[in-house]
Amino acid sequence: MKLNSMWRIVVAVAVICASGTTAFAAGRVFTSDVVIIGAGGAGMAAAVSAAQSGAKVTVLEKLPVIGGHTIISGGSVNAPDPERQAKAGIKDSPDLFFEQTLKAGDYRNDPAVVRVLADNATNMLKWFESLGLKWDDRVFEAWGGLYPRSHNSGAAAAGKDYIRVLNDNAKKLGVTIKTNTKVVDLLRDGNEGRVYGVKAQNKSGGTDTYLAKAVIIASGGFTANIPMRMKYNPRLNEKFRTTANPQGKALDGSTGDGIIMAKKIGADDVGMDYIQLIPFSGGRVIDYVGGDIFVNFDGKRFVNEGGRRDAIADAILSQRGQKMWVITDDQSIKGASLKTKLEKGIVFKADTVEEMARKMEVNPAVLQQTLDRYNQYAKDKKDPDFGKTTFTQTVDKAPYYFGIETADVHFTCGGLRISPKTEVIDLDGKAIPGLFAAGEVTGGIHGTNRAGGNSLAAIFVFGRIAGVNAAQLK
């Protein structure tokens, strides 16, 4: 074990236990070089990179399974990719990625952190390849991504592939992963000292101690914490579901635990009121721009389907019933949800526009006119009505697939303030010794609005960096 000043940690633990101020005196004590809170995409990327750097790593996950939001994602990952993009005639660079990410977030992002994302995204793709992942050759514009630099593994639910590859490599590298283990407190040596471990509830209900030279928080955002999200956006009450739990019948672990714990020991936060909503649980069955059309209950378009996610969400919420119809056709590349949505009657199928209009209860002539107008724009690659610029196809080949959509709470752009090295920053602007963070638990990367495909790119880039830096801490 390579813990810095181990005697200080042991003494500190003994003093705390003796004081009676904690519940872990009767629990077990474990030691690692690095402890990671959360086994989603960021946490697993951090675990693999820390282990590759020679550290003894323990990952603590409060849910019964690993994967977090990553495992249920469509899997769009943004990165400049000279080889694949060149084949498609797409010009890209880290500088362009940097500028577009800042612009998408209304320049409320931290430029130094965004620079790290832009400069390390391409190597992140190669790192995954070294772990055994095969990227599909297709490069596309993720929905809300604003530029064609998105990648996935080719699977309809590519997030599963990323977690599978990370988990396989974590096992090979000897990483310890404990599920049903909820971290409840960070351990810090005084108000200005080092973070040296965590307290966590075990499967039996007891509280154990995990000592380490570094802790990485990768516990996700707070989309599922209704009081917390309403604190920053009062309209996001219990009527709004999350995209990780659209039917309200599952368990969404993104309850802001890591942010709350870190703030208790002096951490700063940033951008907490930037909470993203997207249409997800209803009629939308593709994850890229250019293959579907959004219409209101009058059968008319009302928004640029390839625009910013926040602009689309606001447009949906301004429609009658705060809902819309999403229409695609036989030509588009459908996601993994199509079969289930058809079976549950969330998405419908029609062989003609007239049949579709009848099921939608809109005027067939109006809907046909809307589609004809849109399809001409798709052919011209120009949309004078709403400014859409990305078209992959017309929407005119039966059968048609369509369903009602609303806006679900999807992503919290705000969170813990971090340095470019993923160190957690305190209220005085200083790095908290021994504490790192990566993933949706952090803020400052996306500004006011996260571009589609940037989340997974960021959690993998910064998860990898956090793992390396935590492992190298002396």
Segment 441-472, tens digit of pLDDT:
999 999 999 999 999 999 999 999 999 999 99
Segment 78-124, tens digit of pLDDT:
999 999 999 999 999 999 999 999 999 999 999 999 999 999 999 99
Enzyme catalytic residues: 309
Confidence at residue 10, expressed as pLDDT on a 0 to 100 scale: 39
Region 225-239: mean pLDDT is: 96
CATH class of 282-405: alpha beta
CATH architecture of 1-276+412-474: 3-Layer(bba) Sandwich (3.50)
Q: Based on C-alpha coordinates, what's the Rg of the chain?
A: 23
Q: Is the dihedral of CA 68, 74, 77, 82 positive or negative?
A: positive
Rounded Cα gap, residues 2 and 472, in angstroms: 10
Average pLDDT score, the chain: 93
Q: What percent of the chain has pLDDT over 70?
A: 95
Region 190-203: mean pLDDT is: 95
Number of Cβ within 10 Å of residue 148's Cβ equals 22
Closest CA to 416 of 400, 446, 398, 437: 437
Peptide bond into 234 cis (omega under 30): no
Count CA atoms within 13 Å of residue 427 on its CB side: 7
- 278-307: b (≥16 Cβ within 10 Å) or e: bbbbbbbbbbbbbbbbbbbeebbbbbbbbb
Which band of pLDDT confidence, cut at 50, 70 and 90, is reported for residue 280?
confident
Confidence at residue 362, expressed as pLDDT on a 0 to 100 scale: 98
Higher pLDDT, 215 or 247: 215
**Which amino acid does the sequence have at 338?**
L
Confidence at residue 15, expressed as pLDDT on a 0 to 100 scale: 36
Q: What percent of the chain has pLDDT over 90?
A: 90
Higher pLDDT, 68 or 25: 68
Rounded Cα gap, residues 250 and 468, in angstroms: 34
Rounded Cα gap, residues 379 and 383, in angstroms: 10
Which band of pLDDT confidence, cut at 50, 70 and 90, is reported for residue 21?
very low
Residue 406, SS3 per DSSP: coil
Domain spans, the chain: 1-276+412-474, 282-405
Confidence at residue 248, expressed as pLDDT on a 0 to 100 scale: 81
Confidence at residue 26, expressed as pLDDT on a 0 to 100 scale: 59
Quick check: 154 and 140 in contact, CB under 8 A? no
Segment 3-20, tens digit of pLDDT:
444 434 433 443 343 333
Confidence at residue 378, expressed as pLDDT on a 0 to 100 scale: 98
Q: Locate 194 and state its tokens.
A: 């080092």
Quick check: 225 and 254 in contact, CB under 8 A? yes
Segment 244-265, tens digit of pLDDT:
998 888 889 999 999 999 999 9
Segment 332-379, tens digit of pLDDT:
999 888 999 999 999 999 999 999 999 999 999 999 999 999 999 999
CA angle 102, 107, 111 (to 5 degrees): 60
**Phi-psi map region of 394: left, alpha, beta (phi>0 left; psi -120 to 50 alpha):** beta
Number of Cβ within 10 Å of residue 351's Cβ equals 10
Region 320-339: mean pLDDT is: 95
Instruction: Read off φ and ψ for residue 96, nearest 5 degrees.
Output: -65, -40
| pLDDT surpasses 70 at 132 | yes
pTM attached to this predicted model: 0.91
Which band of pLDDT confidence, cut at 50, 70 and 90, is reported for residue 234?
very high
C-alpha to C-alpha distances, 296 to 241, 327, 360, nearest whole angstrom = 21, 11, 10
